């Protein structure tokens, strides 16, 4: 069925109602309680004639799978989002984080962007395909998972290990994309085709304990402080992957911050940081920096428990994010280099995940690019590497192509938007929902035709 035959205003109104109700279900992780979100989706799907199965990895950790059957000519497409959300400090919000309040053209609440809105977009696409009697050459699988915000152990990872036949697909569309980055009158849509790996480490420093009134200069806290300061200021070497090069070259053609040739200085080790400093949009600067470098950020310190006692040891934890091609051992080597040899310490890896990427030379990526421009003529789709982890990594590790694509226009500076995703007052613009559903509907129907 052609796009023009759908009443998109009505679709938008329906989506707003569903999203508002979905946000009201508190799926804060921990503890998660995603089963309530899964049952909410199951009820909507079954009223529309879909069969769905809800599976709990542990009590309350619900995951739901539903399927729009195709004729099997082509391999399945999976539409993925996570049900859980990060905690919210209610006293710091203008409207309660689980109110799903609709006001002044916005929908408020934890998960409004990350990522219950994507779930509603995917749900609406499935409902519209069925209502319109779409003949698909692929099975289209809807998967909503638990536990993404805490690593995915009870969600996507568990589903792939225990129920692979239910979610087996050759292509995945998931969270991770950002739409509506307005530069020089054009919108840039970021398609997440890769993500950095995580390597969380703990550094333990040892010293000589004693009474604080009699210092002898051997204080492990001072050693730790010098290393934390050095690591905080450390700038990792420039790394230029094909994805990063494509991102910067694409952005260079449309941006108006500086001459195109000067902007391309981001790809030169000698000029990269000076070019970054000239970009006024802080959110874009941060994205570019994390795509070009490994990062090392101290986040936790612990030392001593009594004011007048010099402790025998102290520790700090560092969040290291590594680009594709890196591994935990190479990151540990670079971290020791970053510390500058200022003090001795022991390193323990607390957890890690592998950097993953999917190529852009696929029919799905070409269709996404085409559909973006169809509904936003001056827009450009650019692949990028996200600094944060997503459930896409579990699929990519199995050789499955996964793209982060959510064409929801943010309608504000990127830096402001990024602060709200896990911060206070998360919300989206109502008018962006029907546009996003329209684009995604186009992508799915064209890819499955």
Q: For residue 130, what are the β-bridge partners?
A: none
- Beta-carbon contacts of 93 under 8 Å, excluding residues fewer than 6 positions away, are 108, 424, 425
Partners of 296 in the β-ladder:
320
The domains located in the chain, with CATH, are 3-182+386-447 (3.40.630.10), 195-352 (3.30.70.360)
How confident is the model at residue 254, as a pLDDT?
80
Q: Name the H helices within 112-199.
A: 116-131, 156-162, 164-167
According to the model, what pLDDT value does residue 184 have?
Answer: 67
Which pLDDT score, from 0 to 100, does residue 3 have?
Answer: 46
pLDDT digits (tens, 9 = 90+) for 217-275: 889 999 999 999 999 999 999 999 889 998 899 889 888 889 999 999 999 999 999 99
Q: pLDDT 10s digit of each residue in the chain, 449 long?
A: 444 489 999 999 999 999 999 999 999 999 999 999 999 999 999 999 999 999 999 999 999 999 999 999 999 999 999 999 999 999 999 999 999 999 999 999 999 999 999 999 999 999 999 999 999 999 999 999 999 999 999 999 999 999 999 999 999 999 998 876 666 667 889 999 999 999 999 999 999 999 999 998 889 999 999 999 999 999 999 999 889 998 899 889 888 889 999 999 999 999 999 999 999 988 889 999 999 999 999 999 999 999 999 999 999 999 999 999 999 999 999 999 999 999 999 999 999 999 999 999 999 999 999 999 999 988 889 899 999 889 999 999 999 999 999 999 887 777 788 878 899 999 999 999 999 999 999 999 999 99
CB 146 within 8 A of CB 63: yes
Predicted confidence at residue 128, as pLDDT, reads 97
Q: Pinpoint the alpha helices (H) of 168-293.
A: 220-233, 242-254, 260-263, 272-278, 282-292
pLDDT, tens only, 89-111: 999 999 999 999 999 999 999 99
Q: Does pTM surpass 0.85?
A: yes
Specify the 3-state DSSP secondary structure of 339: helix
Distances (CA, A) of 267 to 105, 241, 271, 292: 40, 10, 8, 8
């Amino acid at each position: 069925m052609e796009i023009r035959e759908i009443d998109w205003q009505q679709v938008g109104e329906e989506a707003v109602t569903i999203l508002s109700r979905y946000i009201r279900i508190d799926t804060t992780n921990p503890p998660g309680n995603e089963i309530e979100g899964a049952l909410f989706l199951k009820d909507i799907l079954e009223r529309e004639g879909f069969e769905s199965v809800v599976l709990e990895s542990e009590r309350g950790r619900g995951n739901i799978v539903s399927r729009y059957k195709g004729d099997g000519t082509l391999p399945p497409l999976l539409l993925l989002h996570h049900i859980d959300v990060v905690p919210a400090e209610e006293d710091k919000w203008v409207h309660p984080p689980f109110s799903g309040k609709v006001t002044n053209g916005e929908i408020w609440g934890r998960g409004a962007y990350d990522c219950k809105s994507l779930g509603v977009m995917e749900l609406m696409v499935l409902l519209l395909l069925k209502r319109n009697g779409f003949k698909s050459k692929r099975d289209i699988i809807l998967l909503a998972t638990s536990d993404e915000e805490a690593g995915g152990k009870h969600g996507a990872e568990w589903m792939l290990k225990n129920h692979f036949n239910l979610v087996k697909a050759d292509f995945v569309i998931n969270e991770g994309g950002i739409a509506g980055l307005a530069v020089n009158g054009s919108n840039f849509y970021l398609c997440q085709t890769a993500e950095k790996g995580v390597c969380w480490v703990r550094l333990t420093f040892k010293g000589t304990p004693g009474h604080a009134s009699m210092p002898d200069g051997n204080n492990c806290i001072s050693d730790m402080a010098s290393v934390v300061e050095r690591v905080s200021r450390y700038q990792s070497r420039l790394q230029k992957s094909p994805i990063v090069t494509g991102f910067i070259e694409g952005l260079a053609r449309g941006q108006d911050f500086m001459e195109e040739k000067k902007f391309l200085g981001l790809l030169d080790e000698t000029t990269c940081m000076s070019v970054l400093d000239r970009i006024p949009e802080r959110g874009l600067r941060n994205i570019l920096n994390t795509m070009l470098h490994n990062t090392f950020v101290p986040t936790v310190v612990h030392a001593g428990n009594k004011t007048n006692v010099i402790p025998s040891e102290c520790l700090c934890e560092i969040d290291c994010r590594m680009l594709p091609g890196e591994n935990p051992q190479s990151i540990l080597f670079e971290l020791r280099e970053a510390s500058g040899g200022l003090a001795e310490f022991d390193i323990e890896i607390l957890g890690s995940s592998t950097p993953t990427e999917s190529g852009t030379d696929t029919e799905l990526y070409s269709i996404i690019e085409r559909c973006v421009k169809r509904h936003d003529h001056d827009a450009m789709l650019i692949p990028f590497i996200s600094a944060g982890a997503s459930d896409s990594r579990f699929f990519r590790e199995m050789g499955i192509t996964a793209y982060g694509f959510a064409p929801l226009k943010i309608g504000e500076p990127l830096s402001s938007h990024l602060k709200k995703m896990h911060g206070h007052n998360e919300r989206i613009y109502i008018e962006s929902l029907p546009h996003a559903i329209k684009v995604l509907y186009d992508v799915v129907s064209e890819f499955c035709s």
